[in-house]
Amino acid sequence: MKLTFNWLKEKSGVDWSVEEMEDRLTRSGTAGVAHKINPDHFKEVVVGQVTKLDKHPNADKLLVTEVNTGDATHTIICGAPNCAVGQKVVVALPGANLKGEFKVKEIKMRGVESAGMICAEDELGLSDDHSGIMVLDDEAPLGRPVFDYLALDDAVIDFEITPNRPDCLSAVGVAREIAVLAQKDFIVKIDEPKEVDKKASDYIKVVIDDPDGCPRYTARIIENITIGESPWWLRKRLLNCGIRPINNIVDITNYVMLETGHPLHAFDYDRFGSKEVIVRRARAGEKFITLDNQEHELDDSILLITNGEKGVAAAGVMGGLESEVENETTTILLEAAYFNPTVIRRSSQKLGISSESSYRFERGVDPNGVVAAADRTAALMAELAGGRVLAGVVDNYPKKISPVKIELRPEQVKRILGADIPVLFMEKTLRGLGLEVETGSALKTLAPTNRPDLVREIDLVEEIARIYGLDKIPTARQNGGPLFTPSHRRDTIKEDLRRILNGFGFEETLSSGMAHAGRLERVDSTLDPIKVTNQLSDEFAAMRTRILYSLLVSTGNNIRHRNIDINIFEIGRVYLKEKSGPVEPTYLGLLMTGQTEDVYWKSQAAPSDLFEVKGIVEAVADSLGLNSPVLKAIAIPGYDKHYSYEVLIDDQKVGSVGQVDKKVARLFDIKQNCLAAELHVEKLIELYQGLKEYKPLPKFPASSRDIAVIVDLSVPAAKIREAIIASGGELLESVKIFDLFIGEAVPEGKKSLAFGINFRSAEKTLEDEEVDKTHGQIVAHLEKSFNARLRE
């Protein structure tokens, strides 16, 4: 919400600079940012009068004008359709620098000299209006600098009002804040209109069918008005505050709303359709056209103002087209009401309309301030539109809303804030804010109805705190609380995993956790994702069921930027549907594609393959102190079914490893081979078996033997390794596979596998004969079990 500096200064009576006003208000909870108009942009911009108007000899759409600026006459070419002789206009003379970006010079336009420019509002930076040149009041003095004449030294302050402070959605409300901060008395002058003898109650009756939705409705009648343009001061205030001027009547209701915070509505009395306002809920299916010419189908969540027959306004939200004020309007039915905030909020949501009016009603206006607002509006209509105000306010107030009693114990202020604030300051502050205060050991207060946020003692503590100044509350230098707070494996394991994977050269990615429903389905159609019902876009329509999805999105983003060698990991939740409700297990996902390592002049990098990922998974398990993982071939969605494995540790499923299905990868614009793994982090935590007992270091040396065997291609290396261990007896300490060979030296359909075996005894140094004997047993066993042949 925007208000102007001069307006606030005038209402508050406090003589602060713009900067001080901005700062003090911001520090007390009414955050505002001030914008000033730069006077340099109005240098050589003066009031002029059009004295002569001719068609441009060489251009149909241009006019050649003569403009008098008091001491001189200038020939200026103008293209505005509304330009007329006698008008007072804004003239930018050569040397002007409009908005700091457009320098006005003497120029020749199609053969005619032009010594300046007649300006539209947008060219001056006053508004976005470029429909025609700006026309000033007739009294505007010739030659007067426009900056002075229009009082443009007024800054606009743009406020961010929190939803608990509807009272501050007005000049009066903000001015009261200023006065309290400056410790000055604040008085609101009530401006009662001069009334004529005719009674308003003879013209209109108000019936409220739904007192909960509409606790109060008042009406005034103003006759004999003339619709026209509002004076500049009024238009300027509206423009400064971001509201487009329409005509004097609409402008006045908007102005009073900005001033008092009360939304008002002016109906054309003659087009209202009856002499009775009936406020009721809309009927299901009832149709209504709002003044923006949109037809709405209503239901009973909407509060409707009717003429007894049909709707004339969606209460508190927007008026109807049919009873809108028009140029011919002469009599005004003025509505000033208090509607229930929740009802207006629902109406506004249902209609899909958020207006200045609904914004205020749903936050809460002052039910006991409506008559003053109606009076102020009527008085302005008399003054600015020639209206005659009929006697009396027709006031229907079935649900009276009274000020709230609140007790404030001064010690409570100290207890919450930790500051010693004098009781006198508290009293003064609360009175300044409009509360009635009765002194005593506890302050007995009565909170005004324009402050619906003040209900409890804590609400008053907050008022004291913000007016006193949060910056003045002394800062504690000690830190209370428990002596010790524990850390949790749930958190520390993530730190460990990051360190481990960073150590292996992996970069950490972080994703939204949301997914494109269609692509997610293609990654894994076996898991039904939790869908977002009000999604922002297709990309964020479902919750990811697999961490693989996010890794593929990140990989695709990188490949599009030609980063083709990627080792990434992400630790995050996936979201799964369970009967009991959503569950959110945490997964570690990792993905490798392209070359495994950076370029090195001594050796050639190899493309990543499944053994790289397997090695990482094994190392991760080992780093966490877990037993070695076992990989079991099984088709898992998202992976190529021939290269897809379940990861088992201690016979428990902890995740998967595989080569990403090429068709799936292509959905993410990835054409290169991707290897991935997904590990369930909570499972990894569960599998940890605690600290291990120390094993004494061997006292005697080991002996080693290598065995190379030729076996069928189909025999798994792990099976042979297991057989070696099984037949190696007590002396066998470890077995490592150090070579695989397939090729010429080996018969077709066969492979050669080489194993390095370590033997050791805990009691003595082994003799060669003992080792040879065991070695022989192993060879015999392999020959028998796998039809293996020793390779010499």
Partner 1 sequence: MDIAEQLQKIGQTAREEMSAADSADVLEKLRVHYLGKKGELTSILRGLKDLSREEKREVGGQANKLKTELDRIIEDRREELSSAISIDSSFDFTLPGRPRHYGHRHLVTIVMDQINGIFQRMGFEIADGPDIESDYYNFEALNFPPDHPARDEQDTFYVEGGSLLRTHTSGVQIREFEKRKPPVKIIAPGKVFRNEAVNARSYCVFHQVEGFYVDENVTFGDLKGVLEAFCYEFFQESVQLRFRPSFFPFTEPSAEVDVRCFLCNGKGCSLCKHEGWLEILGCGMIDPEVFKAVGYDSDKVTGYAFGIGVERPALLKHRVNDIRLLFENDIRFIKQFR
Q: Which of residues 526-555 bind partner 1 (CB under 8 A)?
A: 530-537, 540, 543, 553-554
Cβ nearer to partner 1, comparing 172 with 574: 574
Assign 252 to helix, strand or coil: helix
Left (φ > 0), alpha (ψ -120 to 50) or beta: where does 533 sit?
A: alpha
By CB under 8 A, residue 131 contacts partner 1: no
Among 43, 310, 399, 456, contact with partner 1 (rule: CB under 8 A): 456
550 and 570 Cβ atoms separated by less than 8 Å: yes
Stretch that binds partner 1, among 86-94, 488-496, 664-672, 692-700 (CB under 8 A): 488-496
Shortest CB 254 distance to partner 1, Å: 21
Task: Report in angstroms how near the CB of residue 604 gets to partner 1 at its nearest.
Answer: 13
Name which position in 6, 13, 27, 404 contacts partner 1 (CB under 8 A): 27
Nearest to 673 by CA among 595, 778, 779: 595
Nearer to partner 1, 363 or 376 (CB): 363
CB of 502 to partner 1, least distance (A): 4
**In angstroms, rounded to a whole number, what is the distance separating the alpha carbons of residues 628 and 721?**
15
Give dist(CA 702, CA 176) in Å, integer: 91
> For partner 1, what does the binding mask look like between residues 419 and 448, x meaning CB under 8 A?
x-----------------------------
Which of the stretches 29-37, 43-51, 368-376, 635-643 binds partner 1 when contact is defined by CB under 8 A?
29-37
By CB under 8 A, the residues from 598 to 637 that bind partner 1 are 598-602
Stretch that binds partner 1, among 70-78, 421-429, 489-497, 695-703 (CB under 8 A): 489-497
- Complex with partner 1: residue 413 or 724, whichever CB lies closer: 413
How many residues are given for the chain?
A: 792
The residue (of 317 and 382) whose beta carbon lies closer to partner 1 is 317
Contacts (CB under 8 A) with partner 1, residues 272-331:
none
Binding of partner 1 by 511 (CB under 8 A): yes
Gyration radius from the chain CA atoms: 41
Q: Please tell me the distance from the alpha carbon of residue 592 to that of residue 605, in angstroms, as a whole number.
A: 14
Query: Which tokens belong to 316?
Result: 């508190």
Residue 476 within binding range of partner 1, rule CB under 8 A: yes
- Give the residue with the Cβ less far from partner 1, 293 or 580: 580
User: Which amino acid, 711?
Assistant: V
Question: Contacting partner 1 (CB under 8 A), which of 61, 108, 189, 477?
Answer: 477
Instruction: Compare residues 478 and 714 and give the one whose CB is closer to partner 1.
Output: 478
Q: Which of 6, 535 has the CB closer to partner 1? A: 535
Asked if residue 466 binds partner 1 (CB under 8 A), the reply is: yes
Q: Which of 165, 750 has the CB closer to partner 1?
A: 165
Chosen residue from 54, 106, 495, 706 binding partner 1 by CB under 8 A:
495
Is 89 within 8 Å of 132 (Cβ atoms)?
A: no
Nearest distance in Å: CB 401, partner 1: 18
Residues 655-674 that bind partner 1 (CB under 8 A): none
Q: How far is the CB of 126 from partner 1 (least distance, A)?
A: 21
- For the window 157-196, what string marks contact with partner 1 as x by the rule CB under 8 A? -----xxxx-------------------------------
593 in Cβ contact with 675 (< 8 Å) = yes
When the beta carbons of 107 and 473 are compared against partner 1, the nearer one is 473
Binder of partner 1 out of 153, 309, 508, 669 (CB under 8 A): 508
Which of 482, 701 has the CB closer to partner 1?
Answer: 482
Residues numbered 705 to 744 that lie near partner 1 (CB under 8 A) are none
Out of 111, 486, 743, 749, the only residue in the binding site for partner 1 (CB under 8 A) is 486
580 binds partner 1 (CB under 8 A): no
Least Å distance, CB 473 to partner 1, is 5
d(CA 5, CA 37): 12
In the complex with partner 1, the residue whose CB is nearer, 485 or 604, is 485
Name the H helices within 316-438: 341-351, 356-363, 370-385, 410-417, 423-432
Among 2, 4, 12, 29, binds partner 1 (CB under 8 A): 29
Q: What are phi and psi of 699, to 5 degrees?
A: -95, -20
Token representation of residue 694: 């120390």
Whose Cβ is closer to partner 1: residue 85's or residue 458's? 458
Residue 52's DSSP bridge partners are 66
**Contact status: 151 vs partner 1 (CB under 8 A):** no
The C-alpha atoms of residue 731 and residue 379 are separated, in whole angstroms, by 109
Q: Judge residue 372's burial from the number of C-beta atoms within 10 Å of its C-beta, 0-12 exposed, 13-18 middle, 19 or more buried.
A: buried
Instruction: Say how far apart CA 344 and CA 323 lie, in whole Å.
Output: 21
Which listed residue (206, 566, 709, 732) binds partner 1 by CB under 8 A? 566
Q: Where are the beta strands (DSSP E) in 599-687?
A: 630-633, 639-649, 652-660, 674-680
CA dihedral sign, ordered 486, 490, 495, 499: positive
Applying CB under 8 A, does 455 fall inside the site for partner 1? no
Tell whether residue 36 is a contact of partner 1 (CB under 8 A): no
Contact by Cβ (8 Å): 782, 724 = yes
Binders in 339-378 for partner 1, by CB under 8 A: 341-342, 345-346, 362-363
- For partner 1, the binding residue among 13, 513, 607, 756 (CB under 8 A) is 513
CB 66 within 8 A of CB 104: no
Q: How far is the CB of 259 from partner 1 (least distance, A)?
A: 22
Question: Are 312 and 270 within 8 A, CB to CB?
Answer: no
For residues 106 and 538, which CB has a smaller minimum distance to partner 1 in the complex? Answer: 538
Residue 558 corresponds to which tokens in the numbers above? 């990188």
Taking the least distance from each CB to partner 1, the nearer of 61 and 488 is 488
In a 13 Å sphere around the CA of 247, the CA atoms on its Cβ side amount to 13
Nearer to partner 1, 90 or 660 (CB): 660
Q: Within 13 Å and on the Cβ side, how many CA atoms surround 465?
A: 18
Total residues in contact with partner 1, by rule CB under 8 A: 96
Does the footprint of partner 1 cover residue 462 (CB under 8 A)? yes
CB atoms within 10 A of CB 792: 4
**Residue 246 amino acid letter:** I
- Cβ distance to partner 1 smaller for residue 25 or 135: 25
Stretch that binds partner 1, among 25-33, 114-122, 666-674, 762-770 (CB under 8 A): 25-33
Site string for partner 1, 583-602 (x = CB under 8 A): -x------------xxxxxx
Check: CB of residue 642 under 8 Å from CB of residue 664.
no
Apex 235 CA angle, 233 and 237, nearest 5: 70
Query: What is the C-alpha to C-alpha distance for residues 523 and 525, in angstroms, rounded to an integer?
Result: 7
Residues 378 to 417: which contact partner 1 by CB under 8 A? 415-417
Using CB under 8 A, which of the segments 57-65, 182-190, 314-322, 466-474 binds partner 1? 466-474
Contacting residue, 293, 402, 441, 487, with partner 1 by CB under 8 A = 487
How many Cα atoms are found within 13 Å in the side-chain-facing hemisphere of 186?
27
Among candidates 211, 334, 335, 333, which has minimal Cα distance to 281? 211
Q: DSSP assignment, residue 123?
A: H
CA distances from 651 to 568, 648, 717, 788 (A): 27, 5, 20, 30
- CA angle (743, 748, 751) in 5-degree steps: 60
Q: Which residue among 379, 461, 679, 757 contacts partner 1 (CB under 8 A)? A: 461
Say what angle helices 248-260 and 171-181 make with each other, to 10 degrees: 30
The continuous run of DSSP H or E covering 703 comes out as: strand 703-712
